Amino acid sequence: MFLQQAIIYLGAAVLCVPLIKRLGLSAVLGYLLAGILIGPFGLGLVGEERTELMHFAEMGVVMMLFIIGLELEPAQFWAMRRSILGLGMSQMSLTTLLLGGLFLSFGWSWSVALTVALAFSMSSTAIVLQTLKERGNARSTMGQSAFSVLLFQDIAVIPILALLPLLTAGQVPLSAEQRLHTQIEDLPSWLQAIVVVGAGGSIFFLGRYLIVPMLRAVARTRMHELFTAASLLLVLAISYLMQIIGLSPALGAFLAGVVLANSEFRHELESDLSPFKGLLLGLFFIGVGAALDFNLVLEAPDFILITSVLVMLIKGISLFVIGRFFRLSNEQNLPFALAMSQVGEFAFVLISFAQQIDLLPQQLANQLMSVTAISMFATPFLLLANDRLIDPYFGVKQNPDPRPSDVVEEQHPVIIAGFGHFGSTIGRLLRANGIEATILDHDSDRVELLRKMGFKVYYGDATRLEILEAAGASKARVFIAAIDSPETNARIIELLRKHFPHLHIFARARNRMDAYDLIEHDVKHIYRETLYTAVNLAEDVLVAMGFRRYTAHRQAQRFIRYDERSLRKLAAARREARDYVLTVKEEIEMQERLLQDDLMANLTASDHAWDSEPMRSGKLI
């Protein structure tokens, strides 16, 4: 039975996720669709065992927070304390207040309205963080703000679980089965508080004086599988410790990750646990999709659908207001509000517990579960709508720089679109040689930072014709497309070809496949990130292996010339997989043969005049 269920879950994921990714959608949506497909209301391939699966799959959330903790050093965590308390507490308070008012208008009692409002004020840690990671926004201002709110919510689960039984005042006392059990529940309150604080402190103590030495001992065995087992033991043991005293396992795992962030095992732990985290998160999302009860939706479609829309709308508005209050820029604030507007996985826990203690009737609890699942399912679509319909036009109407001299200074012969690490290197080299450039960037936070560093960078979306015209594209000679996104670069180049055909375009490409797309846009000057750095490294390795610098440099430059020549030939064949593979094989063999012939025919290979290092070292004397 286990093998059959494993085949069903894994098969559904392998079928749905690649299909969804080919459509340019989030992998989370693929997992949710897989759950719906195999669930009781799809093909009916899984049944009640999905409840047990959810408990198992929730370890994916725990491991995710542990890995996040590994990436967040203690000093950085302490620096975020105001953001966590400020953003998190403001979001929870405002959302609970607004949702509580909504549910009171439904005619619910105050205890039911407060319970559901608290549960629905939570957002999905799993969906939001996974989506931010896929979109590359985890380290942006929006990503850090979302993380602060989610972390506060994870912490708030504990006092909420303690509060819910108090809302049953005047009702039948809780039975032994209904109470939330912990190993310290029979201790006096003051002693429970000491145990809870001590458990948190013990994580820091154990991390420094027990866990790191243990990992060192395991590492000395040079058995990778044993280190993987130790990594799993670490996360599971800390999570269990937190659970038995009534704290969140995810919170405990996060704190353990923060403690180990400065250890030498940081990257090893992350690489060992990432596959387990990804698989368990996938199972978690499949379980959410399978739990979506379409029968309940059909029985009360008006209530469930209207409630889902109202809850997401109210949460989105409150998040947007909070974001504005904490000075998030418009282009950061809207995705922040949309990404966090769903109801999170902790709502399943809170609603289930509220049902156990008779705070919520069973039918209402089941309907609220459906509202939770629907909101989680809708999140990827909201973000997609933002990317396709809102983001290209939202926020770019701001004046990049209101100073009067800007109009004159923008008329430079060179325009650079994108001023991250790649574009700023180009701009610095040009400026050092007396060539000024008009610089456009669509990340307002980066624009402000670069201005403080002395760069005259203008906020603007280079995919818009009026921005290009304002930047002086009609008079410029060179346009450098240095944006990290290949799709954005392609849109800009299409616009330039149509309206400013005189411009010489120099374009950034991440790899060979991106270069093929640029060739189709008739771009002559293409610069692959993965080519030139790799060739420079190989050149240095040749020198280290005994080649003369002159010879190594000539071979490196020849390799680039041959590779760029073959690039355009391969671009024409890439649509046919079989022809492409054969052409690549032929080109590689030809390049290697040409380089070998060049090396043998290089009559000046012994000439050290080009390389001054041997002369300085006295080897030629």
Q: What is the pLDDT of residues 276-323, one digit of tens each?
A: 777 777 777 787 777 666 777 788 888 888 999 999 999 999 999 998
Cβ contacts of residue 260 below 8 Å, gap of 6+?
69, 70, 207, 211, 212, 266, 269
Please state the length of the chain: 621
Helical ranges in 386-511 per DSSP H: 406-409, 421-432, 444-452, 465-470, 486-499
Listing DSSP states for 30-49 in one string gives HHHHHHHHHSTTTT----TT
Q: What is the pLDDT of residues 469-499, one digit of tens each?
A: 878 888 889 999 998 888 888 888 888 888 8
Give the residue extent of every domain in the chain. Answer: 57-168+189-390, 510-607
Name the CA radius of gyration of the chain, rounded. Answer: 29
Dist CA 569 CA 334 (whole Å): 44
| Residue 400 confidence (pLDDT) | 41
Cα–Cα distances in Å, from 170 out to 111, 165, 179, 293, 359?
A: 12, 11, 16, 33, 11
User: Does the pTM of the predicted model rise above 0.75?
Assistant: no
Q: What is the DSSP letter of 503?
A: P
Residues 470-486, buried b or exposed e (16+ Cβ, 10 A)? Answer: bbbbeebebbbbbbbeb
Q: 10 Å Cβ neighbour count for 606? A: 9
Joined together, the tokens standing for residue 480 give 């450098």
Are the C-beta atoms of residues 140 and 449 closer than 8 Å to each other? no
Q: Domain 57-168+189-390's class?
A: mainly alpha
Consecutive H or E run containing 330: helix 330-339
Residue among 277, 302, 307, 299 nearest 373 (CA)? 307
pLDDT for residue 173 is more than 80: no
Q: 10 Å Cβ neighbour count for 274? A: 13
| Cα distance from N-terminal residue to C-terminal residue, the chain | 80
Q: What is the pLDDT of residues 178-218, one digit of tens each?
A: 444 555 556 666 676 677 677 767 777 777 778 888 888 88
**Beta strands 504-509; 525-528: pairing state:** parallel
Q: 10 Å Cβ neighbour count for 566? A: 17
